[in-house]
Amino acid sequence: MRRRQVPPLGKRHGLDPARLRLPEDGQWATIRDHLVERLPRVPAARIDELLREGGIVNLDGPIAPDAPYVPGGAIWFHRDLPVETEVPFEIDIVHRDESILVIDKPHFLATIPRGQHIVQTALVRLRRELELPELIPAHRLDRVTAGLILFVVDPARRGAYQTMFHKRLVRKEYEAIARYDPDLELPRVVRSRIVKERQVLKAFEVEGEPNAETLVELIEHRGGIGRYRLRPHTGRTHQLRLHMNGLGIPILGDDFYPDFTDKPVDDFTRPLQLLASALEFTDPVTREPRRFETKRTLQAWHDPQGWAGI
């Protein structure tokens, strides 16, 4: 197996530096000229500043402002981070040992850096706060979904835990709050074909062979709302949200289904009432049975006032 090259720059904010491979057929006089053309969104003045400060390096160290272009070479640098709104909620630690870390993630915190969410993500926060620079998630939760996520602490054991999720060897349970429909027969298994296109925010159920399956059960109901247990057999994008919406009981607080609502990123009110409540599996390293359960609860069940769709 080919080993990943160790970056010559250390992590910043818990993040590895960006790596750029210099094209073999490049005809630029200097590395600076190449970067100005290749990174049009980065002002040339900023590239010059990074070069002067030694912020762009290769395996031999900082690159000089007039360093000649080297076809096939590689360089590293830290990208400038976007301005982010702080997510004002804590991450709860459920379990930690030498191999894994299980957390209880709050709503509105992304699992990994992506797009406009970089520092305000579970991964970056945990790497910094727990001083675990090699931490990596074995799976992910949507930013708007709260609950349990398993991270791998020991880099040598990443494959074992990530494979466990890929092979569907983990039994996942979710809790959701939605309108109660007395005419809906539950429990039932929902199967459908879900398609998610790149650059399109919403996923869609379409005709064809099912690729998504969820067991939906009603735990209890009161005051026109229901508390549901969802057990997905597959892990398609937005699967639980689509399946609940397809049953005519969309999850409370869902800004995508049935209708899209453009909610400001700093609006932390009325979170999606979906919670990853349990993870159960046979540990691939110790062979011991494991079960982790959330201690979080969903707002709408305890205080339904003001929730649309009831």
The set of catalytic residues is: 142
**DSSP secondary-structure letter at 156?**
G
Classified as helix, coil or strand, 242 is helix
- How many angstroms from the chain centroid is the CA of residue 220? 30
Burial 186-202 (b: 16+ CB within 10 A, else e): eeeebebebeeeeeeee
Strand order in the sheet with 61-62: 18-21, 74-77, 56-58, 61-62
Q: Are strands 274-282 and 225-232 parallel, antiparallel or unpaired?
A: unpaired
Q: Give the span between the Cα atoms of 281 and 291, in whole angstroms.
A: 7
| Residue of 102, 166, 174 whose CA lies nearest to 144 | 174
Q: Give the span between the Cα atoms of 100 and 57, in whole angstroms.
A: 33
Q: Give the span between the Cα atoms of 239 and 102, in whole angstroms.
A: 23
